Amino acid sequence: MKTIRIGAGAGYSGDRLEPAVELAEKGALDYLIFECLAERTIALAQRARMAAPAAGYDPLLAERMHAVLPLCHAQGIRILTNMGAANPLAAAAKVREIARSLGLDGLKVAAVLGDDVLDTVRAGDYLDDSGQPVSRFGERLLSANAYLGAQPLVDALAAGADVVITGRAADPALVLAPLVHEFGWAMDDWHRLGQGTLVGHLLECAGQITGGYFADPGYKDVAGLARLGFPIGEVLEDGTVVITKVAGSGGQVTAATCKEQLLYEIHDPGAYLTPDVAADFSGVRITEIGPDRVLVEGATGHPRPETLKVSIGYVDSFVGEGQMSYAGPGALARARLALSIVEERLQLTGVQADELRYDIVGVNAMHRDQLAAAHPEPYEVRIRVAGRTGSLREATRIGNEVESLYTCGPAGGGGAFKSARDVVAVVSVLLPRDAVYPTVHFGELEHAVT
């Protein structure tokens, strides 16, 4: 049976570079994917594009492509990534520029557009997942991006793309697309699409499945985390996959690491909804077949949803923050005094905040005071005051009051930090499929996709 080897070169925007290079060098890959978009990432990228029209794609795109393009070109490895974020066209142009600078003539780079549905959402009367109208955000609305499925990526590959760059696509689609392209799966073969979506879900977070997120010293020990290898999926034509990694790289691939990733961000294992299929993972079987080799099989699928999820980014509020450290005898008492002073100062000066937190990091910041009371007093602590406000000016005042503890006491404070920033939040809406029009671009050429 034909086998396709797919490597996961990134699991988020700021992920490590070396494991991707290792995959390109030693993974004997057919495809290398970079999954780099979280829910808020594209909203932040859209804001960057508003400030600079040529911006809005992943900030590590150039560094990653400089590192892996020569290797992938030499070995015939094709790349798929959502590093286009809010500006896939500019990202594709950057990759072409890098390819030319490296002497990689003839490299075909495709940009997939159509996920940006901001104008459609603005013009419609849509309710978000809280049941409230999206129109309430007004000018605070930053972005609206539909989760595209695998089809436009498949079309880009069929047109000969060596590199496919998209914006907001469903994470598993980056893996499903090459499987559909290579194996000739029909886009209504729900069983195989469910299998391929499982492969995509297992690979999409890169180092999580090779022991990175799994590690817990003394309970789940993982060797070589500083040299963590990223995963490879050896996918057979029937959708069965063996998860492995480059021999000699750090981390591990076991039944347990695969099971943890299988359950990651899954609400209903029997109905994992994607743009391509309602995947059913309830019958999945996971078997260790050798060192760092795990066989995963048994997924299936059902007809895809009639709507597409749209992630909406908006400016929710502003957050002001200040921090200060205390150490030595009486550190905890001085930290508590400092917090009480800041709390009183914020009241005296009339800072307008909708929400305030007063934390002692290392004591009560995670589990609050009741649990902390049962543990010994620490030798050093760090206070943190944070507040949610309606303006940047009010947010700035919170950090200023913490910083003033330097000279106004209590004594011994050090390592002050303050910040004020807006908060970009996300909600979701559903759009009919026929309101979203993906297109594939090769330079100036455009191929419509239905």
Mean pLDDT of 224-238: 97
Residue 448 has pLDDT above 60, yes or no: no
Q: CA-CA distances (angstroms) from residue 147 to 144, 170, 221, 342, 379?
A: 10, 5, 36, 44, 49
The pTM assigned to this predicted structure is 0.91
Query: Does the pLDDT at position 372 exceed 80?
Result: no
Query: Which CA distances in Å does 208 have to 13, 87, 204, 219, 273?
Result: 14, 27, 9, 17, 21
Q: Tell me if the bond preceding 410 is cis, omega within 30° of 0.
A: yes
Q: Which CATH class is domain 316-428?
A: alpha beta
Arithmetic mean of pLDDT, 48-68 = 94
Question: pLDDT band for position 370 (50/70/90)?
Answer: low
Q: Is pLDDT of 444 > 60?
A: no
Report the alpha-carbon distance of residue 126 to residue 128 in Å, rounded.
Answer: 7
- Residue 371 is predicted with a pLDDT of 57
Using pLDDT thresholds of 50, 70 and 90, give the confidence band for residue 363. Answer: confident
- Helical (H) or strand (E) element with 232: strand 231-236
433, 435, 440, 443 alpha-carbon torsion, rounded to 10°: -170
Locate the domains of the chain by residue range: 3-311+429-448, 316-428
pLDDT at 50: 87
In this prediction, residue 445 carries a pLDDT of: 47
Confidence band, pLDDT 50/70/90 cuts, at residue 365: low
Instruction: State how far the Cα of 69 lies from the Cα of 328, in Å rounded to an integer.
Output: 52
Distance CA 322, CA 341 (A): 13
Cα–Cα–Cα angle for 15, 17, 20, nearest 5°?
Answer: 105
Task: Look up residue 145 and give its two tokens.
Answer: 């991006």
Supply the pLDDT for residue 439: 96
The CA distance from 402 to 404, in Å, is 5
Assign 3-class secondary structure to 262-324: HHCCCCCCCCEECCCCEEECCCCEEEEEECCEEEEECCEEECCCCEEEEEEEEEEEEEEEEEE
State the DSSP H helix or E strand holding residue 164, giving kind and residue range, or none if neither: strand 163-166
Residue 295 pLDDT: 98
Work out the pLDDT band at 431, boundaries 50, 70, 90.
very high
* For residue 56, pLDDT beyond 50: yes
Cβ atoms 343, 358 nearer than 8 A: yes
